[in-house]
Amino acid sequence: MNMYDIIYKKREGGALSREEIEFFIRGYTNGTIPDYQASALLMAIFFRKMTKEETFELTRAMRNSGDVVDLSGIEGIKVDKHSTGGVGDKTTLVAGPLAAACGVPIAKMSGRGLGFTGGTVDKMESIPGFRTTLEANEFISLVNRVGLSVIGQTAHIAPADKKLYALRDVTATVDNLSLISSSIMSKKLASGSDAIVLDVKCGNGAFMERFEDACELGELMVEIGKADGKRTIAVITDMNQPLGLAVGNSLEVIEAIETLKGNGPNDITELSLRLASYMIYAGEKSASPEEGYAMAMQALESGAALRKLCEFIEGQGGDPRVIEDHRLFPQPSCYAEIHSEVDGFVGAIEARAIGLASQHSGAGRATKEDSIDLSAGIMLYKKVGDLVKKGDLLATVYGNDQIRVDKGAQEAAAAFQIQADKPEESVLVKKVIQ
């Protein structure tokens, strides 16, 4: 078996066997297959596509390229929740405590932000003292004791994906359903949970802009999960405007805290409850998603989920006083305000543009080596459909570098579209695939 024959076979439209896929993943991971041959195969896959069976085998080979986490030491059905990436998406910090408060063990590995989307690990590290690196026994012990732990993904989880994604990023082979789904699901399957709830974003602030593409991706990932024996549910959700009002690390954690106090924006509250309902259902703590929703609502209204967040923060070394004193978070020294120049209704807020503006203000990174300003970001004061008057405050951009903050404010201002007529309200949860 050799790479030339594998590349030729896929170039001609043939379906690769399990052995051929394993040969490629093993060889590329250990360095015996060079980048130029891997690039050629990726381009052949991009144009010729893969069958479902090939996609399943690619996912398994990537999962098995590194460690597969053993969570058998955690009692109960472990449920993982993953978002395909959006702007202002802090649902892990809300849905996680909601589900954990209902008895579902959440043992989650999350990543850092890159580009216009934020990362859960970066957000949590804005909490003073919070540790995102734990030893395996401490991680398992914390989930058994608190019901919830979120840590950074180790380099030993699906290392083939890390190498392949970096190569796809520079060879224009990112946008392929088989390559996207295997990248996401190889890490999810290697992370050890028994069930997976996928939040598949759809819209101008998501990787999948078209509803049909998001559904196709969701369906494929659900099939991959089920083929591996994992109960998997995909929720297709709207990302045509930022989720909630806060975009940026510490700002989003504060909004998550306020949401669990019952003071959150309607969209982040509703989506977190819906995701938690499926997590509770997948964890077999409810007989239906509807019952799971009622349980999550009770956890929110009773304060049980907020107490769970406090336990989670304290368990990972964070200062639980941030729950009541937001001044303990990193503080910005600069800001710039964006005001409406006309009367009308907010017709659109381009999520991707807001995400990039937040990144450029200091809240995000262009490369994985970049440092970030945990206090930087954007607070929105209007959402799509809101009435505005000339001079009304639309948003404030924060950071510690006035030049960067001003640049972010210019970009954020361009993301707002003000129109004469009130737009139709968009549907937050578009479809559920299970």
Closest CA to 280 of 272, 289, 271, 269: 289
Rounding to the nearest 10 degrees, give the CA dihedral for residues 132, 137, 140, 142: -60
Asked if the model's pLDDT at residue 117 lies above 70, the reply is no
**Domain that residue 40 falls in:** 3-48
Of residues 10, 78, 82, 188, which has the active-site annotation? Answer: 82
Query: Token pair for residue 383?
Result: 């959402």
Q: What is the pLDDT of residue 367?
A: 61
Asked whether 374 and 126 are in contact (CB, 8 A), the reply is: yes
Residues 325 and 130: their CA atoms lie apart, in Å, by 16
DSSP collapsed to 3 states, 112-153: CCECCECCHHHHHCCCCCCCCCCCHHHHHHHHHHHCEEEEEC
Q: How many domains does the chain fold into?
A: 3
Q: Which helix or strand (DSSP H or E) is residue 371 part of?
A: none
In the residue annotation, 82 being an active-site residue is answered as yes
Q: What is the pLDDT of residue 153?
A: 73
The predicted structure's pLDDT at residue 368 = 58
Structural domain includes residue 60: no
What is the CATH classification number for the domain harbouring 148?
3.40.1030.10
Amino acid letter, residue 266: N
User: What is the token pair recorded at 8?
Assistant: 């030729």
Exposure string for 243-273, b = 16+ CB within 10 A, e = fewer: bbbbbbbbbbbbbbbbbbeeebbebbbebbb
The pTM of the full predicted model, rounded to 2 decimals, is 0.91
Query: 78, 168, 274, 360: which is the annotated catalytic residue?
Result: 168
- C-beta of residue 36 within 8 angstroms of C-beta of residue 138: no
Residues 165 and 291 in one domain: yes
- The DSSP symbol for 327 reads G
> Is 193 considered catalytic here?
no
Residues 150 and 215 in one domain: yes
What is the model's pLDDT at position 354? 94
pLDDT value at residue 128: 96
Those residues whose C-beta lies under 8 Å from the C-beta of residue 75, and which sit 6 or more positions away, are 105, 144
Residues 94 and 17 in one domain: no
Does the active-site annotation cover 321? no
Neighbours of 196 (CB within 10 A): 28
Give which of 329, 339, 315 is closest to 393, Cα–Cα.
339
- Domain annotation covers residue 347: yes
Answer yes or no: do 163 and 299 share one domain.
Answer: yes
The helix (H) or strand (E) run that includes residue 55 is helix 52-63
Q: Mean pLDDT, to the nearest integer, of 13-22? A: 96
| Residues 167 and 239 placed together within one structural domain of the fold | yes
In whole angstroms, what is the distance from residue 104 CA to residue 98 CA? 9
pLDDT, mean over the chain: 93
Structural domain ending residue among the three candidates 307, 323, 339: 323
Are 273 and 237 members of one domain? yes
Task: Judge whether 113 and 125 are in contact, CB under 8 Å.
Answer: no
- DSSP β-ladder status, 344-349 and 393-399: unpaired
- Of 79-93, 267-281, 298-312, give the lowest mean pLDDT range: 79-93
69-86: per-residue pLDDT in tens? 889 999 999 999 999 888
Active site (annotated) includes residue 63: no
CA pair distance 165, 356, nearest whole angstrom: 21
> How far is the C-alpha of 323 from the C-alpha of 321, rounded, in Å?
5
pLDDT at 151: 86
- Say whether both 202 and 313 belong to one domain: yes
- Token reading at 76: 């109960």
Identify whether residues 302 and 345 lie together within a single domain. Answer: no
Residue labelled with tokens 């004791």:
145
- The CATH number covering residue 340 comes to 3.90.1170.30
Inside any domain, residue 425: no
Residue 308 known to be catalytic: no
What's the token pair of residue 398? 């924060």
Catalytic annotation, pick one of 89, 122, 161, 267? 161
- Quote the percentage of the chain above a pLDDT of 90: 79
Instruction: Give 354-402 pLDDT, tens digit per residue.
Output: 999 998 898 876 665 667 889 999 999 999 999 999 999 999 999 999 9
Is 67 within the bounds of a domain?
no
Judge whether 419 and 340 are in contact, CB under 8 Å.
no
Statement: residue 353 has pLDDT above 90: yes
pLDDT greater than 60 at residue 157: yes
Find the catalytic residue in 10, 108, 162, 187: 187
Q: 157-166, 200-209, 421-430: which has the highest mean pLDDT?
A: 421-430
Q: Which CATH number do you get for residue 11?
A: 1.20.970.10
Taking each continuous run of H as one helix and of E as one strand, the counts in the chain are: 16, 13
Q: Which listed residue (65, 110, 181, 183) is catalytic?
A: 183
State the average pLDDT over residues 138-148.
93
Question: In terms of pLDDT, which residue wins out, 62 or 136?
Answer: 62
State how far the Cα of 325 lies from the Cα of 90, in Å rounded to an integer.
Answer: 19
The predicted structure's pLDDT at residue 205: 84
Quick check: helix, strand or coil at residue 376?
coil
- Answer yes or no: is pLDDT of 344 > 60: yes
Q: Which amino acid is at 353?
A: A
Q: Express as a percent the part of the chain with pLDDT over 70.
A: 97
pLDDT for 116 equals 53
Q: Give me the long-range contacts of 142-146 (CB less than 8 A, separation at least 24).
A: 142/315, 142/316, 143/71, 143/74, 143/78, 143/105, 143/106, 143/107, 144/73, 144/74, 144/75, 144/105, 145/315, 146/100, 146/308, 146/311, 146/312, 146/315
**132 and 150 inside one domain:** yes
195 and 216 assigned to the same domain: yes
Same domain flag for 198 and 311: yes
DSSP state, 385? T
